[in-house]
Amino acid sequence: MGKVQDHKRAQKVKRQVDVTGQKVKGDDKFEIMGVVKECLPNTMFRVEVLDSPVKPMIGRVLLGTLIGKMRLYRIRVMPGDYVKGYVTKYDLDKCKITYRSTKKISQ
């Protein structure tokens, strides 16, 4: 390569910022595992929590909605399916469903 291309490439490397190390772990949400009890309109579900790092959440029934990719690819969730999801610390009555399985999910 010529001198001009090398010079431009070196300048571009200087401008680029590495953001991979800057990601902050989400401390405002925690994962749950549960079973779907009821299907509601608009891809919403009643989810009974079976396992959670927060012990008072176990046994509670939450209002769950599908995340965007599950809606996009039309993943079907039926009553009795085991699901993984997350709950934010700001609203403990709602959850986002991120994974669906017909078999019990093991950790």
CATH of the domain at 86: 2.40.50.140
Q: Choose among 25, 27, 43, 37: nearest CA to 79.
A: 37
106 within a domain of the structure (yes/no): no
- Domains of the chain: total: 1
Q: Is residue 81 part of a domain?
A: yes
Tens digits of residue pLDDT in 14-36: 666 655 555 556 678 999 999 99
Write down the pTM of the prediction.
0.73
Residue at 6 is within a domain: no
* In-domain check, residue 82: yes
Ranges of residues in the chain whose predicted pLDDT is under 70: 1-5, 7-9, 12-26, 107
Two structure tokens written together for 34:
């549960």
